[in-house]
Structure 1
Amino acid sequence: MSTSDRQSYHHGDLRGALLRSALRLLDAGGVDALSLRAVARDAGVSANAPYRHYRDKEALLAALASHGFAELTARLEAASSVGTEGGAAGSSRAASPSAALADAVAPMARATVHYALDHPGLFRLMFGHVCVSLPEVIAASDAAQAVVTTRIAGFAAPRDRETLKIGVWALVHGLTSLLLDGRLGEPTREAADALVDSAVRTMIGADWAPVAAEGGGGA
């Protein structure tokens, strides 16, 4: 181990330091701007230090994507608790089934868009790079999708849950891509939220059955 490597361990978390540097470079310049050498330089360690944790650039990209999905999962979990003090459907019981489900889904949709706008390079990696086919990234992605599935299960009959999840996931990803590409101009965060809410409510107004249609219960 070189002297510079030994000095880099003073913070006790070389892997974390490398990941933070990689995230900065990724959001600043995209995947093309990322290399293990560039990450080492940004982190202030020797060129060989990253190889102690990442065998190559693809391994680093997979770690970044998994990290992104873990953070997105945490945001989705926080958003899914909005308005649920009274249980799965919470205080929305008096509303129509479509309105209740939209109220449940919209905070998660906004959280996803916010995450993408906060981390554009990382979000593009998470949904558009070949590393997403790796087992560890698939598992991290599945965990994020499971939050949406669980939330929908409190409102929709079993036969409709997967379709609704795919529809919500596709809608939010599409809107996010349009926003990141500047196809919708440069709306304020509030305007983007309003657009997401409107799109979610429009989509959820389609034909689907609430849990009550099959005897109730969310499982």
Structure 2
Amino acid sequence: MTTQGRKTAAPRKRRTYHHGDLRQALVDATLALIAKEDVGAVSLREVARRAGVTAAAPYHHFRDKNALLAAVAEEGYRALNQRMEEALARTRAPDLAGRVRALGRCYVSFAVEHPAHYRVMFREEWGDEEKYAAVHEEGMRAFQRLLELTAEASAASGGKVDMETLAFNIWAWVHGLASLWNEGPLRKKTGSDSISPLLERSLDLLVMLIVGS
């Protein structure tokens, strides 16, 4: 067989990035990989391949895989915090029930809409506050908003409810709801393609337990 008359495929051009774009390109490639496979599939070499850069390129921005995943987690927390800020700005004091609903809705909706970020945001590694200071700071910003609301709820109860315990339980409630939906069991049980109806009913119950209305 000869090659005469056959068209040869043009060589695939390597994508290039201007200064300052590579870091985000690697984060985006990591998110795409997690969405398609899982966190366990992430490696600097594979992310570099998907981003169209050399295997050595990621090391200009990230010392190792965990540093790359920390950047993904930080981005997720920043986006979640922005959502929370906007939602709370629309629902001001003294509407405690409205703000509880707003935070719960933000948390679960973000988790469902951005499952790749969500899978990375709560990894055990981020417990090293010194090594992963930026992730810790953004995570604490989100948790502080919850503490502020539970402090109000505790005060309204005359101090009968411990605000930190209440915060932990609200967090566990919304986190479990989002995780069970993302992993599939709740989608199967409800037979729904949208978490919204279940989320709103859950928020009604949550507000009734916390605020009493």
TM-score grouping bracket, smaller chain normalisation: 0.7 to 0.9
**1:117 aligned partner:** 112
Pick the aligned partner of 1:161 from 142, 153, 163.
Answer: 163
The structure having more radius of gyration, on CA atoms, is: 2
Question: How many pairs were matched up?
Answer: 188
Quick one: which amino acid aligns to residue 143 of structure 1? R
Q: CA deviation at 1:143?
A: 1.1
Distance 1:169 1:162, change over 3 A: same
**2:176 aligned partner:** 174
State the distance in 2 between where 1:130 and 1:149 align: 21
State the distance in 1 between where 2:154 and 2:89 align: 17
**1:78 aligned partner:** 86
Q: Which structure carries more relative contact order (alpha carbon 8 Å, separation 6+)?
A: 1
State the distance in 2 between where 1:203 and 1:167 align: 11
Q: CA deviation at 1:82?
A: 2.7
2:17 aligns to what SS in structure 1? helix
Q: CA deviation at 1:112?
A: 0.8
Q: CA deviation at 1:200?
A: 1.7
Q: CA deviation at 1:114?
A: 1.0
1:9 aligns to what SS in structure 2? coil
Q: CA deviation at 1:28?
A: 2.3
Q: CA deviation at 1:103?
A: 2.0
State the distance in 2 between where 1:83 and 1:205 align: 15
1:166 aligns to what SS in structure 2? helix
Larger proportion of helix = 1
**2:7 aligned partner:** none
Pick the aligned partner of 1:68 from 73, 76, 79.
Answer: 76
TM-score scaled by length of structure 1: 0.75
**2:121 aligned partner:** 126
| 1:10-89 mapped onto 2 (5 Å cutoff) | 10=18, 12-84=20-92, 88-89=93-94
CA contact (8 A) 1:77 1:147 kept: no
State the distance in 2 between where 1:199 and 1:28 align: 35
Backbone CA RMSD of aligned residues? 2.5
Per-residue CA deviations over 1:99-137 (Å, capped at 9, x if unaligned) read xx332211111111111111213212212x222213222
Quick one: which amino acid aligns to residue 97 of structure 2? A
Per-residue CA deviations over 1:49-82 (Å, capped at 9, x if unaligned) read 0011111111111221122111111111112223
